[in-house]
Amino acid sequence: MNQPASSIACPAILVAAPASGQGKTTVTAALARLHARQGRRVRVFKCGPDFLDPFWHTLASGAPVHQLDLWMTGEADCRARLHAAAQEADLIIVEGVMGLFDGEPSAADLAQRFGLPILAVVDASSMAGTFGALAYGLQHYREGLRLAGVLANRVASERHADMLQGSLREPDQWLGALMRNPALTLPERHLGLVAATELSDAMERLDAAADALVDTPLGRMGTAELQRWIVNFPAADAVSRSQPLLGKTVAVAMDKAFCFIYAANIECLQALGALVTYFSPLADRALPACDAVWLPGGYPELHAERLSANYALRDSLRAHVAQGKPVWAECGGMMVLFDELVDKDGQRHIMWGLLPGKVTMQKRLAGLGSQQLLIDGEQLRGHTFHYSTSDTPLLPLVRTSRPEGNATAQDGEAVYVQSSVGASYFHAWFPSSPALVARLFSQGLQRVPQELSA
């Protein structure tokens, strides 16, 4: 079969499910680990905004994990990343988000746009014949989708597996069964999975999950069988980019308290010319020499006592701000900057006091969904996902909005500015607006360049 010279062929699969909680992440990581152990170069992507699942996929594959989302990251970005991965990989695995057809855009939209075959993972713990109906529905609900097969998860017995397999209208769609095993469940907390970097036995967990796949038809697929999943990935248009951050150093907080960092955001800063350096607000007593600071999201509420006691780093950050140097703080990064943090047990912690007010942990989600920040014609895309609320006398400089909303909608996140500090619950995908990102880490949001405000 002839293919355009600009396209690259590579086996690829999108791991999807009829709903959340079916086991997509475990199966994706297990499949990546299994093929990596066999010597294949595996690249994994995550559909939609997610910081935590990629920790597991990075460990399983041994390669960086990027997000794919037709709205947040954009079709051109998705195309470029898939094409680049296809040039170096033997297998590309994309983990879907929620149910196959859930969300706008959905995992099905992504699969259809790029011709990705779909592996459906179904929690079959409480069904028999309905398993076949679900498989048939996932395949035929929308025209143009390519179902590679179905994997039954949390199966009770071999007899149960036989019943599930017999329910399929197309027997060759059967890719096996994973037996019910609590050891194959990845640990969770209030924002999602516990990061693989926090667990000393993370690799052992992945190996156990990979071992469980070995005796399934899915696990027995070798190089020849993977050709059934071949996809041609077209090249994206080349993007020319200036380097407005050339010569500047951006210090990024990174430790157990601040770990919600898209790999693509670091790459974006570097592409803009910045030298990226890292520090730990939990352990370090001073900022590294830098021109700007990024405090990403994470779990400051789980480490509030240690963060509160790190007076030296707090004072170093205050000195940075006193010099007019920019700080961009997202979600957890913003939380630590307030005067006070009230944890889920009602305990109050004095924080760093660069923003007036307090944040309070809630028992339910306080913000969730795609968001965009619109400033002077630039659109920075991202999302929000948090369990805390803020109470501050500061008035927002601007609010984010949902993709279908407007910039004044009350369901948007406030963006606060105090001196050279910009802060919001909004998690930004930096490559969506390199120009605005360069501004965040050079002038900040208060000092508006004349050419942008005109």
Nearest to 177 by CA among 205, 206, 148, 156: 156
Angle of the 202-213 helix axis to the 53-61 helix axis, nearest 10: 70
In the annotation, is 331 catalytic? yes
CA–CA distance, 150 with 118 (Å, rounded to integer): 9
Contacts of 69 (CB under 8 A, 6+ apart): 47, 48, 49, 78, 105, 110
CA–CA distance, 436 with 252 (Å, rounded to integer): 18
CA–CA distance, 246 with 256 (Å, rounded to integer): 29
10, 259, 268, 331: which one is catalytic?
A: 331
Over its C-alpha atoms, the chain yields an Rg (Å, rounded) of 23
Q: Which residues are catalytic?
A: 331
